[in-house]
Structure 1
Amino acid sequence: MDNVGLLVEPSKSRPIKTILLTNDLTDAVMAEAETLSCDLIISYHPPLFRPIKRLVQKDWKQRLAIRAVEAGIAIFSPHTSWDTVKGGVNDWLIGGLGSGHVTVLSQVLSDAYPSHRLEFNVRRDEELTAVMEELKACDSSATLQHSSNRSDNSGIHVSFTCSDSALPHCVHTLLGHTALSQSLTISKLEKHPLPGHGQGRLSVLDKPVTIATAVEKMKTHLGLSYLRLALGAEQTQESSVRTVAVCAGSGASVLNGVKADLYVTGEMSHHEVLDAVAKGTSVILSDHSNSERGFLSVFRERLAVRLPETVSVLVSQADRDPCRWSEVHDSE
């Protein structure tokens, strides 16, 4: 899991007037933010990833954090949430090949639902009322259910669901009632999937395209003049593409084993590409951040309409993928 959320918070609060969006926070982007007098940088990749024990000048990421604090600039990173959310980076990426039936490759499960069910028996209505009040105090969002079954002297059977965080308090409360604690059982509930949310996307295109056309579409979508292409076994650039699997960034772990005519991602290792090609799947690689950066403009529009007109939302002009084509000229 990436280090997402508010990473740098200035000591003095101030109104946000200028927000700078970037894929990576580098020295060039920080200089741009300082020139623009930014109040907030939203950096897709978190500039602070691993725990640190000191803030010193010899580490470039720590230098950036120090500069941000000194300039009073907050830094926020949304990385994983943008990857998984419906309408996020991966939906934007797969949209470059045209409309189709899109599904999630690695489904996200919701933590919003209760995670445990506690069941027990009580003898009297008065005891039930008292226990329910105590349990409610443990978790105000809890769902309470109970049913009566007095035919076999078991009293009232109670089924109670609670969140993971409230479980220790609820169990402690029930164990304080000696009679009902003897009948207590605890079950872990399955998490519910969140439709449309998760890592990676698979699209069955409404209109199949050739591999050559897919490359041109993705070059236009990503704003690139080049892409790397590995043709699947027995495929040519005129072969048809009906199913496409995508994962922004470094997508091999998500794409591995997915049956598709074409993979689109930022980067894969040499052997991961060989594995895909051997199975007849062609691969388009754009370099890591090139598969993500174009979403910044989409997000800028979405954010701007939700903020007052006095707030400027800008996309960094200094942000770029560190890997670029280089032309080598003969000195002679």
Structure 2
Amino acid sequence: MSSPAVAAPYTRAVVSAMRKLYPEALADKSFDNTGLLLEAPFDPLRRQMNSVLLTVDLTKAVADEAIERNDSIVVAYHPIIFRGLKALTLKDSQQQSLLRLAAEGISVYSPHTAVDCARGGLGDWLADIVSGTPHHPSQLSLKEKGLHLGSNQHTRYPIQATKVEGYPGAGMGRIVRFSKAVPLTDIIDRIGLGLGNPKGFPIAVPQGKQASDMMIKSIGICAGSGGHLFSEMEKMGEEVDLLFTGELSHHEALAAIEKGKCVICLFHSNTERGFLHSVLKGQLESTIAEEWERIRMEERAKEGMSDEYFEALDDEHIEVHVSEVDRDPYGIMISKREL
């Protein structure tokens, strides 16, 4: 009699840890597709390492990275399966990655908007950066670089509070309101260092103004694409001086500066990727350790599992990796030619 088809026990520990940190109930199910998107069966003849790979986007290069190290699971912030599939073929690059990962016994989990929404998640991390709040490791770079910008007294709250009960302070986006106006240049420095873009990024200011002249009292924040959420913010009567996001359309940015606002866009995933290094990796290392110990105890009590499955439970070692090849499609190239 063959053993029942189950996922690798370490994969279950990672999924449990993610759900504990960022409950799937917080995700925006009106459009998002979060959770365990690919559950690969445990293969007793080719056991995966007790390791998880974190990435924003699950590209072919990231899939290669996971396969080469023999990870158990990939936690991809953006869902690689977003809409219904009628077929899985090798002609589609994303489907090809999924098929290759499944063949290697590697599962895929996506948290996306659950991370955006959660208190202490992506929205609050970005709010920490713009306010100079020394809560996450990325903020240490501000002092290390000799920039004495300090933190600013402020209040913050979600642009759209969650309707899910039991999660106060959770919701999509963040609004930061300072007690005293802050120079825009200070905020630019914080963003550049906190998100690892010290050489520059796109910024829009009202006609006739210079960034060095602008003082900011309030900021609307949205990781990724902020157009829709900022539109909802405006409908609610929430006015801010600065819009900080990953991407905004030409016409949305133009409309904002015509109203006297400033806009900072970093390219979509550049507002998200630093969170994996600065926050999620450390969170998972401690939470997976707890969940792995619990699952090991529970699984040992089961009957009908293979000897190889029980051997996998004996491995106490765990690893959390952040992809070295994951990147935004766009980069900034500075020409050295004199025009």
Q: CA deviation at 1:329?
A: 6.9
Matched, 1:285 2:265: yes
Residue of structure 2 equivalent to 1:236: 210
1:301 counterpart (282, 302, 305): 282
Matched, 1:27 2:60: yes
Question: Aligned in 2, Cα 1:40/1:97: closer, same or farther, shift over 3 Å?
Answer: same
Which structure 1 residue ranges, 5 or more long, are not aligned? 111-191
Matched, 1:78 2:58: no
Q: CA deviation at 1:17?
A: 0.4
Moved more, 197-206 or 74-83: 197-206
User: Residues 110-132 of structure 1, C-alpha deviation per residue, up to 9 Å, x if partnerless?
Assistant: 2xxxxxxxxxxxxxxxxxxxxxx
2:185 counterpart (182, 204, 212): 212
Q: Which runs of 4+ in 1 moved over 6 A?
A: 13-16
Matched, 1:324 2:331: yes
Q: Is the 8 A contact 1:227 1:286 kept in 2?
A: yes
Matched, 1:51 2:84: yes
Question: Aligned in 2, Cα 1:51/1:85: closer, same or farther, shift over 3 Å?
Answer: same
Query: Within 1, Cα distance between the matches of 2:258 and 2:82?
Result: 35
Residue of structure 2 equivalent to 1:251: 226
Q: SS of the counterpart of 2:162?
A: strand
Query: Within 1, Cα distance between the matches of 2:336 and 2:241?
Result: 38
User: Residues 129-183 of structure 1, C-alpha deviation per residue, up to 9 Å, x if partnerless?
Assistant: xxxxxxxxxxxxxxxxxxxxxxxxxxxxxxxxxxxxxxxxxxxxxxxxxxxxxxx
Q: SS of the counterpart of 2:155?
A: strand
Q: CA deviation at 1:321?
A: 0.4
Q: Is the 8 A contact 1:89 1:248 kept in 2?
A: yes
Residue of structure 2 equivalent to 1:67: 100
Moved more, 11-20 or 225-234: 11-20
Residue of structure 2 equivalent to 1:164: none
User: Residues 28-72 of structure 1, C-alpha deviation per residue, up to 9 Å, x if partnerless?
Assistant: 111111111110100000111111111111101100110110110
User: Residues 254-276 of structure 1, C-alpha deviation per residue, up to 9 Å, x if partnerless?
Assistant: 11214111110000000000111
2:129 counterpart (61, 86, 96): 96
User: Residues 284-321 of structure 1, C-alpha deviation per residue, up to 9 Å, x if partnerless?
Assistant: 00000000111112111011012336110011111110
Q: Is the 8 A contact 1:20 1:38 kept in 2?
A: yes
Which residue type is aligned with residue 215 of structure 2? S
Q: CA deviation at 1:242?
A: 1.3
Residue correspondences, number: 249
Q: CA deviation at 1:327?
A: 4.7
Residue of structure 1 equivalent to 2:168: 195
Which residue type is aligned with residue 270 of structure 1? H
Q: CA deviation at 1:195?
A: 2.3
Q: SS of the counterpart of 2:263?
A: strand
Question: Aligned in 2, Cα 1:16/1:3: closer, same or farther, shift over 3 Å?
Answer: farther
Which residue type is aligned with residue 306 of structure 1? T
Matched, 1:313 2:324: no
Q: Is the 8 A contact 1:245 1:255 kept in 2?
A: yes
Which residue type is aligned with residue 10 of structure 1? A
Which residue type is aligned with residue 273 of structure 2? R
Q: CA deviation at 1:217?
A: 1.1
Q: Is the 8 A contact 1:7 1:48 kept in 2?
A: yes
Larger radius of gyration: 1
TM-score (norm 1): 0.71
Residue of structure 2 equivalent to 1:106: 160
Which residue type is aligned with residue 106 of structure 1? Q
Query: Within 2, Cα distance between the matches of 1:279 and 1:219?
Result: 25
Which residue type is aligned with residue 250 of structure 1? S
Query: Within 2, Cα distance between the matches of 1:42 and 1:22?
Result: 6
Q: Is the 8 A contact 1:107 1:193 kept in 2?
A: no
Q: SS of the counterpart of 1:62?
A: helix
Which residue type is aligned with residue 34 of structure 2? V
Query: Within 2, Cα distance between the matches of 1:16 and 1:106?
Result: 40
